Amino acid sequence: MVGKIFGSRYEVLERIGNGGMSLVYRARDITLNRLVAVKILKHQWAEDDEVVHRFDQEARAAASLVNRHIVQIYDVGREEPDIHYMVMELVAGETLRSKLDREGALPIAEALDIADQVAQGLEAAHAQKVVHRDIKPQNILIATDGTVKVTDFGIAYAATSGTLVNTGSLLGTVQYLSPEQARGKIVGPQSDLYSLGIVLFEMLTGKLPFEADSPIGVAIKHLQDTAPDVTLFRSDVPEPVAKIVRRALSKDPAERYQSAQAMRQDIQRALHPEEHLPEPVPSPVPQTPKPAKKKRRWVPWAVAGAIVVALLGGGILAFEHWIYSPVVTLPNVKGQSLGRAKAQLGRLGLTVSVTGKAPSSHLPKNYVLDEIPPAGTQIKAGQNVEVVVSTGPQQVTVPDLKGQDVFQAVQNLKTENLKAIIHHVKSNSPQGEVVRQSPAPNASLAEGQAVTLWVSKGPAEAVAVMPNLEGLSVEQAASLLIAMNVTVGTPTTTYSTEPVNTIIDQSPEPYSSLNNTTSVNVTVSQGPSPQSAHLPKNITLATWQIPNSAAPKSVLKVVVTDSAGNEEVFYQQVNPGQQIQIPVTWYGTSGQLLVFLNGQAQAPQPLVANGSTTSPAVGTTPPS
């Protein structure tokens, strides 16, 4: 596939992904000179007319979706005979699946932010009557700048055809399937939100809510079992967040969020509780009657006495109100959001004021770290409670660790209260040296988070390969192989147009790995057969075109046989797109070329006297 040009416009460069229904390639848009992704429907699905029809229909519908949280579809097309492809925006980054496999459970704020961006994409799609049907971490891309994008709308819809249901196939990843999908019922936006709830559960806990020994077992649990609460696996998940997951995972679609927008509103409240606090209800202020107009400049002593009595009476009433206010026990509001703490204390007639803020490695922003007086204190209603709230995890700057020894790098991370995830890779750098890191230096990261380090384990060992012994004598081959601790076995002989006593074939073949090889068997030429002396000698120039899809340094093997009983073998390393020409000597009136590319037989070619032969591109299938 590499090297092909689709639609006279998209040049395929390399394969970058392999999914259940499709292969993904990096390609270049020749017209606009930009990189794109080309998704190709796999052969087994391309043979199903219903799948192809739905793939094409929904891909064109998905192409109309324009939103920064949806991977943009640029084009849809077909190449003969049965290649159906979709051209998409190429996103530099990784899938959420890769991130979860590497990091496990995510920080609560990060998980909510990813879910919020996915919901934004779904909100735009649902507004256009497009339902995804296969929301899962594999279909959620995270760009290098943190932007989250949903992909695979077209293929998800194509997979719901009746043809596939009739085969008994459960398409999509069953772990994220909604109950109505498991029943084969009509799905709607609520199905996508259920799947997003599963994804959010996994981001928060590092686990899936439903697991079983088989996909059918998982599907049954989606239908029958209530999802466990996220707080059973992670105690620091705030109640508003746990409530979002519970509602999204309701069995009945009517009890779930009815729109992605509604789900986003709750996510935003959980992310920014300080922006969604209930408005305080002001206490009623007694109206002071306006003094009557002064008609005289003097005040009778009786009226003055009445005013004094009234003022004293008001003070007595206020004092009595304080004396007779109920005594309440201060509840523990540590670990709660500020909004929830204010609501709970407000129901007891208490007011709340924030008197301090401090970073916390375990509580999100605007959650209560401390309260004064402490919980359990008995105070009168109407009094004020002071709280200290979290500003979230302390953010630190990621140091530049590239080039450092791994032990020093880990110590530097510990100094910043950061963890290390280490991958060992082959590199020309000294063993134990950090060759790459993620996030990059100077990035901002919360305390307690991990930095991934790629550490050199030294250069890759050179792999010894079998040399090409063709044309050598047995003695020359033995001298060449002795340094490799390989011996030459007892030679076999055959008639050949090659000089007498020269090697024409060998096993193992040239350019193969020498691992665990101790001896080589060779075939040696006896010279032309006796019949050759009575037959005409021919020299034919054989030509082959190596396909662009071939791997670099592929091995081309050509076996020549003729009617005189001679055999000749050629080996050559070739590269994609290369044209090979080999002069072939043979006797008689007929002969044949047998061609193998990396061990795979190609279409045989007849030899014609007094001419040249041009084979079709190597890579064609031999006739049965």
Residues with a known catalytic role: 134
- Helices 189-205, 239-248: inter-axial angle, 10-degree rounding: 140
**C-alpha span between 165 and 107 (Å, rounded):** 39
**C-alpha span between 404 and 423 (Å, rounded):** 15
Residues 6+ apart with CB under 8 A from 6: 12, 27, 38, 77, 79, 83, 85, 87
Point out which residues pair with 337 in neighbouring strands: 367
Asked whether 451 and 445 are in contact (CB, 8 A), the reply is yes
**C-alpha span between 521 and 509 (Å, rounded):** 10
Residues 6+ apart with CB under 8 A from 283: none
Asked whether 603 and 616 are in contact (CB, 8 A), the reply is yes
DSSP string, 566-624: -EEEEEEEE-TT-EEEEEEEEESS-EEEEEEETTEE---EEE-TTS-EEPPPTTPPPP-
In 66-136, DSSP assigns E strands to 73-79, 83-89, 93-95
| 344: its two tokens | 């709970």
Note the Cα 291 to chain centre separation in Å.
Answer: 75
- Residue 326, CA atoms < 13 Å, CB-side half-sphere: 7
Of the candidates 621, 485, 623, 470, which has an alpha carbon nearest to the alpha carbon of residue 557?
470
In 101-221, DSSP assigns E strands to 140-143, 148-150
- The count of other CB atoms within 10 Å of the CB of residue 607 is 22
Asked whether 621 and 603 are in contact (CB, 8 A), the reply is yes
DSSP string, 539-575: EEEEEEE--TTSPTTEEEEEEEEETTS-EEEEEEEE-
Residues 6+ apart with CB under 8 A from 254: none
**C-alpha span between 113 and 320 (Å, rounded):** 51
**C-alpha span between 570 and 582 (Å, rounded):** 9
**C-alpha span between 444 and 397 (Å, rounded):** 5
For the chain, give the number of residues: 624
Q: What is the largest CA-CA distance in the chain?
A: 156
Percent helix, strand and coil across the chain, each to the nearest 5: 30, 30, 45
Long-range contacts of 141-147 (CB under 8 A, 24+ apart): 141/71, 141/91, 141/93, 141/94, 141/95, 141/96, 142/93, 142/94, 142/95, 142/96, 142/99, 142/114, 143/91, 143/92, 143/93, 144/92, 144/93, 147/68, 147/69, 147/117
Point out which residues pair with 75 in neighbouring strands: 87
